[in-house]
């Protein structure tokens, strides 16, 4: 596991600013007001800040942006990062500002003079989220992030800010776990390695069970097993339980697609870009990261995470197009295209989750369709739901955390597209409404009484350009939104 950058909170001491190495960050309001730390920086730099504040550049700057002064006179630091921030800036703006500082910081130590800003913990979360590298397979880079680049946040009420930051940093640690899993290549992150990494979370107080193929066979999870049967890696379902709520309260169930590699199977994908399919376990990665965050901050809620771990490979034992498989629910599925495998994995895990846990709500996450990328690009995940209240609560959580999410329709009429001639349903509905027919397929395995959300995260789980909170690659999208949903809707009051 990559480690979070260590962040220390100290009671403000502006005397450290002159000698601090690496980078020093100060806060200036958009109207150019200097707090004591900024005034000290101005004095040390012989008026550089006063000149900045009067400059044309400054008149165009917006709250949340950073202007860096390189090699400032009178300071040991190699840069003075001037964070322009409204005193009443919303939390998400501080988080983005923290991320901007982390991006500039690289391996260098960073000293942030946060004054008395009441939301300074959000700066810490922004820094922790953005200060991420996946370098475990680089042989030349011997510096681990954070070791050289520790962060100190100076604040008038350091203890309060430190306490407020602890549950936020749990979210960052969860998101980092998700990214580590999603970035990991498939020769390393086999189904067995994935299950082992989840089992390690028992140390955090989670109950973790690994269901092996014989148990899955016994349960009748034939559609899930049919996806993994061409692979040398054994299929598994891992169940993670966090019992932080009232005894006997129905849990929230999080269900993740964990296809450790998706070749398409016998319906083989083209070679170009196939390497990206190491991220096809993104849904399971978000479930894992969210469970980690909840356990780390000891959430007062009952939440169960279930992931279906399989590898979709072509071989002599692989499922063929045309095969008919019976799911755990009993619904028979004609496999038209072995590349529409995610829904075959999820349908059995969804059914099992409901049969075993009778959840108060169920949310599945999956890198399910290329079609959702055509529809929404990389800015929003597709949100499908049978329950307006749960769905609206989730959309609100996602918006508050700066994670894009957009509701898509479900509807009986789409079922026409997945009718099968010889079985109950088929696993693809052709090109029209590709993401919706995938969701309609899943809906067949959701009980009427279960409030349910399906999140198609194919476009947001891993991206080629950096985002506000993550460098290129795995984003950890969803950990913060789900954590907030649990906090706002599923926790028992103290």
The residues assigned a catalytic role are 269, 343
Q: In the set 339, 364, 401, 403, which binds ligand BES (CB under 6 A)? A: 339
From residue 131, alpha-carbon distances to 106, 278, 312 in Å are: 8, 23, 33
First to last CA, the chain: 32
Cβ count near 241 (within 10 Å): 16
Q: In the set 223, 367, 450, 483, which binds ligand BES (CB under 6 A)? A: 367
CB of 259: closest distance to Mn ion in angstroms? 7
Number of residues engaging Zn ion in binding (CB under 5 A)? 4
Binder of residue 28, out of Mn ion, ligand BES, Zn ion, none (CB less than 5 to 8 A by kind) = none
CB of 325: closest distance to Mn ion in angstroms? 16
Smaller CB separation from ligand BES, 242 or 261:
261
DSSP 2: P
What residues from 325 to 344 belong to the interface with Zn ion (CB under 5 A)?
A: 342
Give dist(CA 466, CA 136) in Å, integer. 19
- Based on the shown chain and the rule CB under 6 A, indicate whether residue 369 belongs to the binding site for ligand BES: yes
Residue 284 has phi, psi (to 5 degrees) of -65, -35
- Based on the shown chain and the rule CB under 5 A, indicate whether residue 280 belongs to the binding site for Zn ion: yes
Residue 227 has phi, psi (to 5 degrees) of -75, -40
- Based on the shown chain and the rule CB under 6 A, indicate whether residue 144 belongs to the binding site for ligand BES: no
- Based on the shown chain and the rule CB under 6 A, indicate whether residue 371 belongs to the binding site for ligand BES: yes
Q: Are 257 and 287 in contact (CB under 8 A)?
A: no
* Residue 20 CB contacts under 8 Å (≥ 6 apart), including other chains: 75, 76, 77, 109, 111
Smaller CB separation from Mn ion, 367 or 385:
367
H or E segment and range at residue 333: strand 332-334
Binding pattern to Mn ion, positions 258-297, x when CB under 5 A? ----x-----------------------------------
Cβ count near 90 (within 10 Å): 14
Binder of residue 478, out of Zn ion, Mn ion, ligand BES, none (CB less than 5 to 8 A by kind) = none
DSSP 414: G
The three-class DSSP label of residue 348 is helix
- Based on the shown chain and the rule CB under 6 A, indicate whether residue 474 belongs to the binding site for ligand BES: no
Give dist(CA 71, CA 44) in Å, integer. 12
What's the alpha-carbon Rg for the chain, to the nearest Å?
24
- Based on the shown chain and the rule CB under 6 A, indicate whether residue 334 belongs to the binding site for ligand BES: no
Binding pattern to Mn ion, positions 312-341, x when CB under 5 A? ---------------------------x-x
Binder of residue 337, out of Mn ion, ligand BES, Zn ion, none (CB less than 5 to 8 A by kind) = ligand BES
Q: In the set 65, 68, 192, 337, which binds ligand BES (CB under 6 A)? A: 337
- Based on the shown chain and the rule CB under 6 A, indicate whether residue 370 belongs to the binding site for ligand BES: yes
How open is the CA angle 83-87-93, to the nearest 5 degrees?
Answer: 60
Q: Are 270 and 370 in contact (CB under 8 A)?
A: no
101: nearest Cα among 167, 11, 156, 23: 23
- Segment lying near ligand BES (by CB under 6 A), choices 76-84, 148-156, 291-299, 367-375: 367-375
Residues forming contacts to ligand BES in the complex (CB under 6 A) are 262, 280, 337, 339-342, 367-371, 428, 434, 458
Provide the binding-site residues for Zn ion, judged by CB under 5 A: 259, 262, 280, 342
């Amino acid at each position: 596991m990559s480690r979070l950058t260590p962040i220390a909170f100290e009671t403000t001491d502006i005397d450290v600013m002159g000698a601090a190495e690496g980078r020093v960050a100060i806060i200036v309001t958009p109207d150019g007001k200097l707090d004591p730390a900024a005034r000290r920086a101005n004095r040390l730099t012989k008026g550089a800040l006063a000149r900045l504040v009067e400059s044309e550049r400054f008149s165009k700057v917006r709250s949340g942006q950073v202007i860096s002064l390189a090699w400032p006179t009178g300071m040991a630091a190699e840069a003075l990062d001037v964070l322009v921030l409204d005193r009443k800036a919303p939390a998400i703006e501080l988080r983005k500002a923290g991320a901007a500082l982390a991006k500039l910081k690289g391996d260098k130590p960073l000293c942030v003079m946060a004054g008395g800003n009441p939301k300074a913990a959000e700066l810490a979360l922004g820094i922790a989220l953005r200060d991420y590298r996946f370098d475990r397979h680089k042989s030349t880079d011997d510096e681990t992030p954070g070791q050289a680049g520790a962060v100190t946040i100076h604040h008038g009420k350091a203890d309060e800010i430190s306490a407020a930051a602890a549950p936020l940093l749990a979210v960052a640690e969860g998101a980092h776990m998700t990214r580590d899993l999603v970035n990991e290549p498939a020769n390393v992150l086999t189904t067995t390695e994935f299950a082992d990494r989840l089992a390690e979370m028992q140390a955090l107080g989670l109950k973790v069970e690994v269901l092996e193929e014989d148990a899955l066979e016994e349960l009748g999870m034939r559609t899930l097993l049919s996806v993994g049967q061409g692979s040398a890696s054994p299929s598994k379902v891992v169940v993670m339980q966090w019992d932080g709520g009232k005894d006997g309260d129905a849990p929230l169930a999080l269900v993740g697609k964990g296809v450790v590699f998706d070749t398409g199977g016998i319906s083989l994908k083209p070679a170009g870009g196939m390497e990206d399919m190491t991220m096809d376990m993104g849904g399971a990665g978000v479930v894992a990261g969210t469970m980690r965050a909840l356990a780390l901050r000891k959430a007062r809620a009952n939440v169960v995470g279930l992931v279906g771990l399989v590898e979709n490979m072509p071989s002599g034992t692989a499922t063929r197009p045309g095969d008919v498989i019976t799911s755990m629910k009993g619904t028979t599925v004609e496999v038209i295209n072995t590349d529409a495998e995610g829904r075959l994995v999820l349908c059995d895990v969804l059914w099992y989750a409901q049969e075993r846990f009778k959840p108060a709500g169920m949310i599945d996450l999956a890198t399910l369709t290329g079609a959702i990328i055509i529809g929404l690009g990389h800015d929003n995940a597709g949100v499908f739901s049978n329950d307006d209240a749960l769905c609206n609560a989730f959309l609100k959580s996602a918006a508050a955390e700066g994670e894009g999410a957009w509701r898509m329709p479900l509807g009986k009429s789409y079922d026409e597209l997945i009718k099968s001639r010889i079985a109950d349903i088929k696993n693809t509905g052709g090109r029209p409404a590709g993401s919706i027919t995938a969701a309609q397929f899943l809906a067949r395995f959701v009980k009427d009484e279960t409030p349910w959300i399906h999140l198609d995260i194919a476009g947001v789980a891993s991206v080629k350009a950096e985002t506000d909170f993550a460098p290129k690659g795995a984003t950890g999208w969803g950990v913060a939104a789900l954590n907030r949903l649990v906090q706002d809707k599923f926790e028992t009051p103290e």
